[in-house]
Structures are given as C-alpha cells and as structure tokens.
Amino acid sequence: MKRRDWLRQMAVVAVGARFVRPAHWDVPQLLVPMDDAQADHLKAYGLTFAALKAGLKSEWLLNYRGGAFLLPDVAELRKEAALDGVSVESISDAALASVRGLIQNSNMDTVPLEKAPRVAVYTPPSAAPWDDAVTLALKYAGIPYTAVYDDEVERGDLTKYDWLHLHHEDFTGQFNKFYLAYRDAPWFIEMVQANLASARKYGFANIPALKKDVAGRIRQFVVNGGFLFAMCGATETLDLALAAEHVDIAGAFSDGTPMDPDADAKMDWSRALAFRDAHLETSPYVNSMSDIDGHQVNDPSRRQPLGTFTLFNFSAKFDPVASMLVQNHRSVINDFYGVTTSFTKPTLKPSDVVLAFEEGTPWVKYLHGDYGKGTWTYYGGHDPEDPEHAIGNPPTDLSLHKNSPGYRLILNNVLFPAAKKKPLKT
Amino acid sequence: MAARVRNLLAALLLAAPAGARAQQPDTSAFSRALMAEGNNQYREAAQLYRASLHTVDRVSAVLGLERAYAQLGMTDSLIAPLDSLIAQFPAQPVFRDVQLRAYTMLARDDMARRSFEAWTRAMPGSPDPYRSYARLLLQANRAAQADSIIALAGRALGTTSSLQMELAQSRAALGQWESSAVAWRGALSAMPDLDQAAAYSLAPAPEPVREALQAVFLSLPVDLGARRALAELEMNWGAPSDAWAALRDLPPDSGSVSAWLDFGREAATGERWALARDAFVTALRARPTPELALQAATAALNAGDPQTALALAPAAGLDSAHTAATVLPLRVRALAAYGKPAEAEALVQGFAHLLLPVQRAALEQSVAFGWVRTGNLPKARAALGRAGPDADSSDAAGWLALYEGNLAGARAMLRNSNDASSALAAALGLITRMHEDTAADVGQAFLALARLDSASAAAAFAQAADHHADAASALLSMAAQIHVARHGDAAAVAIWQRILQDYPESPEAPGAELAWARQLRRAGSAAVAMQRLEHMILTYPESALVPQARRELELARQAIPGGGQGGPTR
C-alpha cells in the first residue's frame, strides 16, 4: 500500500475513532522508545509524523527514554512500524500511569503533538534529494515535503507552509564562492544561468539582488509565525543577505561590481536573525564569507579540525522548545563540516539560545531563537554522517545510519512545529 | 614596514665584507641540524640550519629549515632568510620553490603571486615557476587558478608540454574530463609511471563521458602508460573486461608482459579466472616459461576451461618428481573436468612411482570426480578404493554416497568436511532436513547438477519435492535457485509461488518471497515488489531476512539512494 493511500485510510480510522470514543486517550497506547532500545530512530519520527498526518494525536515524552513518543495503538500504526523496523512497545494503563508519575517528578515533560506541519524545502528544481541532509532524512523517514525555490518564494507561496528548510543556498548570490574552483564545471554554469534567468524574470539586475529579496521574504515568513530550519551555508548567508539589504557585499564575479569597501560598517544587523557584528571576507579569492563560521573548511590556511559537540540539557518543564530540539539518545556527537560548520560566539546575538557547543572552542554548533511570531533554528555543517563531504561524493545511505544522533536533531526540528503551544512557565 | 626591515637586513648582510662572512663557516652545523631534527629538537635544528645557510649545504639547509619551522609553526620566519638567499642566488629553483610554498602556507596570496612572477622574470623560459605554483594551487583546491597559471605558461613558453600532469589535474578538478584525459595522455607518454595517478584523477568521471575518455587512451599510437592507466580506470569503474581490452593488444615487449602479468595476478586475486587466463596466456606467448604456463593453466582450469588448461600443461616432461608434484595434478584435474577420467586414471597409474601416497590419494579423488561427472559411479567407487582407506571418509566419498542416494553416509562424511564451498553448504543444508537414510531421486538430482546438467537437476529437485514432504520446500528452493542461475526467471517464480502457497510456514518461505520481490524489482515492477516485501516483513517478522527485505523496500520506495553519483554539494 502506498503511504498516501495509507494516510487516507488512517484519516478515516481516526475520524471513526473520535466518533466512537470522544475521549480519544481511552484507546490503548503504543510507546515508541527513543533510547538504545529503538532499532530505527529516524523512521520513528516518520511513524509519528504519519500518525499526526492521519489525525491521530500523539505525545512527545521529553527526556523520557531518549525523547519517546506515545501513539494510539491502532493496527495500521503497528503495521507501519513493523514494515519500517521501528521498535514499539505496548504499554498498559498502569504502566503508563507510572511513566506519567515519573515524568511529573523528574526533569521530563509531555508535549501533545497535534497536527503534522506542512513542510517546504528551499531547493533548486533540478536538485536530487540526496544533495541535502534534510531531504535525505525526510525521504528516509517517509515525511512528505514540497520543494520550493525562487519562483515559489517570489509568488508568495511560503504562506502555504508551516516549516521551511534551507541548506546550501548562498543568499549573498555568490554561489558559496565556488566560482573560484568550479567556474568551468557544467553544473556550475547551468546553476548560474538558471539563477540569472530567474533574477531577470523578476526584474532584478543580478543574482545577489534576487537572493536578497528572497532572503527578505524568508525573514517575513518567520516574522509571520513560520518555523525556519537552516543548515550548512544557508545559515550564515541568509543573515549576511538580510543585514546587507542596502550594501553591496558580493564580489565582482557575481554582480559586476566589487564589494563596497565599507561594507562591514554599513551592515544592518538588526535585520539578521541570529548574528551581529560579523566581519565580511573581502577577498574574492578566499573561499569564506565572514568570520561567523568557526571552522572555515574551504580555506586551507584557516581550516579548524573537527571535534565533538555537546547538547545542552534544558529543563523540560521550563524550556520545552529547547528541550524538544535536543531530544537524543546521545549527548555528545561527532562534528561534521559544511560550507558553514559552526558559529563563532562573538557573532551571536544575546537573545540566541545555544543548543549545542564544542567544549573549549570559540564556536557553537546549534542555535535557536524567536523572531517576530516565528522561530528559527540553525544547525552548522552539511551531513551528520559524512563529516568531510565534498562535491561529487556519493550520497549518504541512511539505512546504514538508522540511529544517527546527528540526523535526529534534524528530525526533532520537523516535529517541533507539531507541538501544541503551552503557556511558557518562565 | 616588515618587508622594508627584511630588505634592509638582506642588504646589510650582502654588504658585509666577504672576508667577515667567510670567517664563520660552521661546516658541522648541517649534520648537527639533521641530528637535532631526527631527535625532534626542532628549535635547535632551526638554529643550526640557519647557521648552514651560508655554507655549501645551503640548499639542503633551506629545506631542513622549512621542515623545522613548519613543526614549530614559524613558517613566517623563513621569509627573511629566503629573501637574502634569493638575492644572492636568483636562479636557484629550490629557494624560489620554498618561498612560494611559504607564502601559500601563510595564506599570503598576493605575496605568493609576486614571488611566482619574480621567479618567472629571473628564469624566463623555465617551466619550473609555473609548475610549482600550479601544483600549490591544485593542492589548495584552487583548480581554476592553477589552470590560469598553466595557460600563462603556454603564452610565455610557447608550450605546456612540460606541465601536462598539472594541466590534467586541474582539468579533472574542474570537471573537464576529456580535456584532462588528453593532458594525462601527454603526461603518460613522458612518464608512464603516472598511470595510477591518472586513474585516480579520472575515476570520478561520470558515466556519459567515459566513452570519450576511453577513446583518448585507446587512440593510436599504442602507448603503454596510457593503456595501463585506462586499465586501472576501468577496474575502478567496475569493468574488468574493458580493463583487459585496454591491455590485450599492446606490442609484446617487456613492459607489456609486465602489464599483462600484473593484470593477471590482480584478476586471479579477485577470482576473475577467465580474465586471469587470458592475461597469462597473452604473456606466455611473449615470454614462454614453464612457471607461467602452469599459472595460465591453473587460471584456465579455475575458469572452467579444462581444454585450454590441458593445452597449456603438456604431458611431456612429467617424469620428474617436481613436475609430478605440479603439472600432473593439474592435468589429472583438467582431464577429469574435461570428461576424460580414463585418461586421468591412466596418467595417475603411469606416474604412480613418482607420487607420495598422500599425493596419489588426492589424484584418485580427482579421478573419482571425473567418473562421477560421466555418470559412471562404479568406476568412481573403484577410484576412491584406490585412494586408500582414508578416501572412504573423504569429501569425494561423501559426494559419491550422496549421488548414490545414500543420505546417511553422505551426512556422516560431508559433515566433517573442511570444504567451505557454497555447494557443500547447500547440499548439507538440504540432506540434514531429510529424515530418510536413502533417497535415490535426490541423489540423481545432485548427480545431474554435478554433471552440469542444470535443466535436468532443476526438474529432478522439483519432482523429488513431491515425495519428500519433510524437505519439500528445501528441494523446491534448490530448484528455484538453479532456475535463477540459468536465467529462467519464469520457472523460478512458479516455484516460489508454489513454496508460498503450499509451504507458507516453511523456513524457505520468507527467502522465496524475498527472491520473488527482488526478481519483480529487477523486472521493473516496483509496486508489486513492494507488496511482496510488505507481505514478507509482516508475515515473517522473526525471519533473519527481514533486514534485507526492509532495505529492498527502501530501494523500491526510492527512500534511499540506489547508487550513482552525488550532486554538487558543500
């Protein structure tokens, strides 16, 4: 049975269940453990998402067994779990009462999950899902998403989605300075031509101008209450593009004019989501955008070695949002490079919530914050299971990394918008 | 400011009276520096290398100083002494090269460029500055800039012939595969030992351009380095037959023989025996030696080509203990495999006086197999009898018992075998499932398989299933496997359906359903394959094959990448 058909069928089951049992939680419950007892952590998120999509309400048990999920024990969910190899456990009413007691008296909490978010991924139409860790994870977990790009953003389609992901897009319009090494590569030429055509279609003189406008619309999506999740180079360049609304920060190779020599001083960081007071890299020959990234992987003379990063342990009852984003069965995770790998501490805004950091270094890995009515989360690096991924490397096969703690952080972000908003206790 | 101070210091040094400088040549400093460096005393080594800079050891001393400063993280301290040395010896390429490296390491791109330009001015007509700078840029993943430096060399020198390797690497890094192959071809004609570097550089070339690359390396005139590189490349691309095609028409000289032998050994290591045979036979024609003939014959026999093995390992000259120990077993095995057990038997008897009892026993067992293959079980039994008392419990005796339908005897003998082959595992797996002590029809089925009569064997196993209820599903599974090996997918599907319908609780049922689903996916019926896989996972959740089924399901759903190149990421 196709997942689409199954979801349709499940919706009917859910409607029926509500009709028969108005108090929906009197149905037996199924516990999806997320500690080391889970055979496939990544698919477990897909199972939970599918339940929500079918209208079955669920609960996220923060800090309980690695951030377990509680789903209605219905045959179709059990079947889906069996097919996907997701470990599930029947839980009796008495056992569940005991778990709730434990949660009540510990640094744990329950968060109701109500509605599957509508997921969009900002990616060029020609990109394969294997180019981006998030689309890899979504595909593997079976979470449906819609690919959007400049056309959809310019048309105002972002209002159709709850959650938006950005990955290696360079919102400064400089293609991550790949021009230096790949200007003659067919894929690079094709990418530049497609973006240029798009810029002209919308009346922009060049690609940096188009990307600034797209960045502004993404910012507005967050202001209006959207959930933004960015990884890799999109984190740094989105903020640079936002702060550079009225200043030329692009090299001559991308817009025909050199960068404004006073660009640093003219940046308006109040428009940026996460960063402030960063210094731009002025040389078009240095493959770096600014000093936001701590690792500078594409500049051999500045590159910093990879270490491990540690997740903060938040109070589940007082900081449920941050807690949701760091649910994991591991607290220390191997780091991985990306165009932007990490975020230097001096460039963080004071309001940023640091979710993960590397001990003894001047950078952090994983950030979150509120902006307008929405939220943003930045996760440095490209692919948690391919730490030194380079252009042309084969894609990661997630069926070989079913328990990846690095990928779990991505999927926490996908489920986080499903949470029913509780009034904050602080 | 710092540059001005450096220049001033250099000027002062040069202005010092020659006599004053000549007074302090510390001739032992260089050897002491080497010792200090060897003892990881880099600070001391650096001081001593600096003291050696104005002695005859200056070139080696600069290189030592570069190493020591790199260890100390003081590469910037190299700049001043290099400036003064270059002022003294402007045509010394090592000093220029080290200066360029130092600036690159310090990420002082503008100074590196100036250093390169100064070098080109000091040594007009030399390709050295272009080569060094291009290599450094390539190491820094700045292929486009390296390419522009090579283009500059072309304009300044009138040719890039001495920069072919750098050109090839930069073009490969830029994804200009065909242009890279042309440059590699040029580099390989001068330096054939670069074949592995060329293959490594071109290995990521995508499928659609590979034909063009093959054409570049195969074009006339035939060049050994280019052909070796192409062979390596084809091996990297998983096309060993094409790799051999790149080598087989080389002119028969010593370089070619070496290439053929290397290829043959690699193929033999990978158990690609037919290719190993072809390579050894080609080498043998150019350089005939008994050892090579034996190697070629062994490869041929392992490739299932006993006729060639017999032609390569002639009967003449067998009358010595050495050849009896080497060529004789090969001929006996080949004759037995070629359906000539009588000749094999005669050979063993004719040279029995040269054989140790243990050697003779092994050869008689080969003879027995030969008789089995012709279906003459009494002769096979007789051969085993001659093999001595140990042969009664040998593998050959076990197989013979099986072919005669003596399941009890076969179980007892084959269970103790050291043979790890899949054929033995399959046979044992089946007969241990059967409770009878004898089953002539099953013996006949195995015998047909041994005679390579796979069609009869498949039919016999399927028919035997009707008479042996306790192992019916295993017998059917064996029949299906034989059909698959014969590319008889339709017949195999019919048997898998029978297993699932008649024996759904049998241990073979999940395997049959998985095999059926795989066949469906291969045939392009992904949706039906997914139904079968879902059914298999849900029906047999405890089966050890469930993880494989889940993976197949992911592939059918396209939830994981199914091979191929990654896109432009990071």
pLDDT class of A18 with cuts at 50, 70, 90: very low
Cβ–Cβ below 8 Å for B143 and A130? no
pLDDT greater than 50 at residue B566: no
> What single letter denotes the amino acid at residue B262?
D
Same domain, B410 and B495: yes
pLDDT greater than 60 at residue A23: no
Scanning every residue of chain B, which has its alpha carbon at the shortest distance from the alpha carbon of A393?
B566
Which residue, A87, A113, A139, sits at the end of a domain? A113
Scanning every residue of chain A, which has its alpha carbon at the shortest distance from the alpha carbon of B536?
A83
Quote the minimal CA–CA distance from A129 to chain B in Å. 9
The pLDDT of residue B270: 84
Structure tokens at B306: 């006993």
* Residues B100 and B133 sit within 8 Å (Cβ to Cβ): yes
Q: Is the dihedral of CA B154, B159, B161, B162 positive or negative?
A: negative
Alpha carbon A110 to its chain centroid, in Å, reads 22
> A182 contacts in B (CB within 8 Å)?
144, 174-175, 568
Of B175, B176, B566, the CB nearest to A395: B566
Has residue B469 been placed in a domain? Answer: yes
Of B109, B174, B534, the CB nearest to A83: B534
Per DSSP, the three-state class of A230 is: strand
> What single letter denotes the amino acid at residue A141?
A
Q: Average pLDDT for residues B499-504, to the nearest whole number? A: 96
Eight-class DSSP state of A121: E
Q: Average pLDDT for residues B360-381, to the nearest whole number? A: 82
> B559 contacts in A (CB within 8 Å)?
139-140, 142
Cβ–Cβ below 8 Å for B570 and A130? no
> B561 contacts in A (CB within 8 Å)?
130, 394-397
Among A326, A3, A335, smallest CA distance to A138 is for A3
> A191 contacts in B (CB within 8 Å)?
568
Cβ–Cβ below 8 Å for A140 and B568? no
User: pLDDT > 90: what percent of chain A?
Assistant: 73
- A119-122 and A146-148 strand pairing: parallel
The pLDDT tens digits of the residues spanning B145-189 come to: 888 888 888 888 888 888 888 888 888 888 888 889 998 998 888
Q: Average pLDDT for residues B415-438, to the nearest whole number? A: 83
Same domain, A221 and A340: yes
Same domain, B425 and B521: no
The pLDDT of residue B24: 52
Per DSSP, the three-state class of B127 is: coil
Same domain, B521 and B492: no
Q: In B489-545, which ranges are continuous DSSP H helix?
A: 489-502, 508-522, 526-539
Structure tokens at B302: 């392992």
Has residue B406 been placed in a domain? Answer: yes
Q: Average pLDDT for residues B90-115, to the nearest whole number? A: 90
CA distance A344 to A363: 4
Task: Average the pLDDT over each of A23-37, B15-29, B539-553 and give the range with the smallest value.
Answer: B15-29
Scanning every residue of chain B, which has its alpha carbon at the shortest distance from the alpha carbon of A284?
B109
CA distance A131 to A112: 33
The pLDDT of residue A371: 96
Has residue A426 been placed in a domain? Answer: no
> B70 contacts in A (CB within 8 Å)?
none
Same domain, A13 and A44: yes
The pLDDT tens digits of the residues spanning A384-395 come to: 998 887 666 678
Q: Average pLDDT for residues A350-374, to the nearest whole number? A: 95
The pLDDT tens digits of the residues spanning B195-221 come to: 888 988 898 888 778 888 888 999 888
Same domain, B532 and B480: no
Task: Average the pLDDT over each of A106-110, A369-373, A417-421, B102-106 and give the range with the smallest value.
Answer: A417-421
Scanning every residue of chain A, which has its alpha carbon at the shortest distance from the alpha carbon of B551?
A399
pLDDT class of B565 with cuts at 50, 70, 90: very low
Structure tokens at A124: 């060029």
Same domain, A66 and A143: no
CA distance B344 to B342: 5
Q: Is the dihedral of CA A215, A220, A222, A223 positive or negative?
A: positive
Q: Give the H/E segment covering residue B287.
A: none
Torsion angles phi and psi, residue A68, rounded to 5: -70, 165
Of A85, A128, A393, the CB nearest to B550: A85
Has residue A424 been placed in a domain? Answer: no
Average pLDDT, chain A: 89
Same domain, B421 and B339: no
* Residues A161 and A118 sit within 8 Å (Cβ to Cβ): yes
Which long-range contacts link B446-453 to residues 24+ away (Cβ below 8 Å)? B446/B399, B446/B402, B446/B403, B447/B372, B447/B375, B447/B403, B449/B482, B450/B372, B450/B373, B450/B399, B450/B403, B451/B372, B451/B373, B451/B374, B451/B375, B452/B373
Cβ–Cβ below 8 Å for A286 and B570? no
Cβ–Cβ below 8 Å for A300 and B568? no
Q: Average pLDDT for residues B439-458, to the nearest whole number? A: 91
Same domain, A397 and A305: yes
Same domain, B453 and B537: no
Cβ–Cβ below 8 Å for B144 and A187? no
Same domain, A77 and A147: no
Q: Give the H/E segment covering residue A412.
A: helix A405-415
Overall size of chain B counted in residues:
570
* Residues B319 and B353 sit within 8 Å (Cβ to Cβ): no
Has residue B369 been placed in a domain? Answer: yes
Same domain, A56 and A195: no
> A301 contacts in B (CB within 8 Å)?
105-107
Q: Mutation test of the interface with chain B: which of A184, A253, A401, A407, choosing the one with the most B Cβ atoms within 10 A? A: A184
* Residues B279 and B267 sit within 8 Å (Cβ to Cβ): yes
> A401 contacts in B (CB within 8 Å)?
none
Has residue A138 been placed in a domain? Answer: yes
The pLDDT of residue B393: 62
> A132 contacts in B (CB within 8 Å)?
569
Structure tokens at B542: 């405890």
Scanning every residue of chain B, which has its alpha carbon at the shortest distance from the alpha carbon of A129?
B561
Q: Average pLDDT for residues A404-418, to the nearest whole number? A: 95
Same domain, B434 and B473: yes
Quote the minimal CA–CA distance from A137 to chain B in Å. 9
Domain count, chain B: 3
Has residue B488 been placed in a domain? Answer: yes
Same domain, A78 and A134: no
Has residue B402 been placed in a domain? Answer: yes
The pLDDT tens digits of the residues spanning A294-330 come to: 999 888 788 898 889 999 999 999 999 999 999 999 9
Of A79, A178, A398, the CB nearest to B538: A79
> What single letter denotes the amino acid at residue A140?
Y
The pLDDT of residue A340: 95
Torsion angles phi and psi, residue B449, rounded to 5: -65, -45
Cβ–Cβ below 8 Å for A399 and B141? no
Cβ–Cβ below 8 Å for B559 and A140? yes
Which residue, A73, A90, A113, sits at the end of a domain? A113
> A396 contacts in B (CB within 8 Å)?
561
User: pLDDT > 90: what percent of chain B?
Assistant: 40
Which positions in chain B have a beta carbon within 8 angstroms of at least one beta carbon in chain A? 105-107, 109, 140-145, 147, 173-176, 204, 531, 534, 537-538, 541, 546-547, 550-551, 553-554, 557-561, 564-570
Same domain, B459 and B526: no
The pLDDT tens digits of the residues spanning A64-85 come to: 999 999 999 999 999 999 999 9
Same domain, A186 and A308: yes
Has residue B113 been placed in a domain? Answer: no
Quote the minimal CA–CA distance from B528 to chain A in Å. 10
Q: Residues 6 or more apart from B296 whose CB is under 8 A from it? A: B277, B280, B281, B283, B284, B312
Q: Average pLDDT for residues B488-505, to the nearest whole number? A: 95
Has residue A423 been placed in a domain? Answer: no
- Domain assignment of residue A105, given as a range: 3-113
Same domain, B493 and B525: no
Scanning every residue of chain B, which has its alpha carbon at the shortest distance from the alpha carbon of A140?
B559
Which residue, A113, A131, A157, sits at the end of a domain? A113
Scanning every residue of chain B, which has its alpha carbon at the shortest distance from the alpha carbon of A387?
B570
Q: Distance of CA A102 to CAs A57, A63, A97, Å?
A: 22, 11, 9
Q: Residues 6 or more apart from B350 whose CB is under 8 A from it? A: none
Same domain, A52 and A153: no
Has residue B570 been placed in a domain? Answer: no
Quote the minimal CA–CA distance from A3 to chain B in Å. 10
Of A301, A337, A397, the CB nearest to B107: A301
Q: In B404-488, which ranges are continuous DSSP H helix?
A: 407-414, 422-433, 440-450, 454-464, 472-485
* Residues B85 and B14 sit within 8 Å (Cβ to Cβ): no
Q: Mutation test of the interface with chain B: which of A49, A337, A388, A397, choosing the one with the most B Cβ atoms within 10 A? A: A397
Residue predicted with more confidence, A179 or B537? B537
Same domain, B410 and B474: yes
Cβ–Cβ below 8 Å for B561 and A394? yes
The pLDDT of residue A391: 66
Q: Average pLDDT for residues B389-418, to the nearest whole number? A: 81
- Domain assignment of residue B465, given as a range: 394-506
Eight-class DSSP state of A275: B
Same domain, A360 and A375: yes
pLDDT class of B562 with cuts at 50, 70, 90: low
Q: Give the H/E segment covering residue B275.
A: helix B273-286
Alpha carbon B41 to its chain centroid, in Å, reads 42
Among A367, A349, A348, A372, smallest CA distance to A357 is for A367
Same domain, A130 and A105: no
pLDDT greater than 80 at residue A7: no
CA distance B294 to A226: 74
Average pLDDT, chain B: 85
Has residue A425 been placed in a domain? Answer: no
The pLDDT tens digits of the residues spanning A126-143 come to: 776 667 899 999 999 999
pLDDT greater than 60 at residue A17: no
Per DSSP, the three-state class of A150 is: helix
The pLDDT of residue A234: 96
Same domain, A216 and A352: yes
Q: Average pLDDT for residues B27-37, to the nearest whole number? A: 89
Of B105, B142, B537, the CB nearest to A180: B142
Same domain, B321 and B369: yes
Cβ–Cβ below 8 Å for A399 and B560? yes
pLDDT greater than 50 at residue B563: no
Among A167, A159, A219, A169, smallest CA distance to A194 is for A169
Task: Average the pLDDT over each of A181-190, B365-374, B559-568 and give the range with the smallest value.
Answer: B559-568
How many contacts, defined by CB atoms under 8 Å, are there between A and B? 116
Cβ–Cβ below 8 Å for A140 and B569? no
CA distance A175 to A203: 20
pLDDT greater than 60 at residue B3: no
Q: Distance of CA B303 to CAs A184, B32, B337, B340, B513, Å?
A: 47, 61, 11, 18, 33
Has residue B337 been placed in a domain? Answer: yes
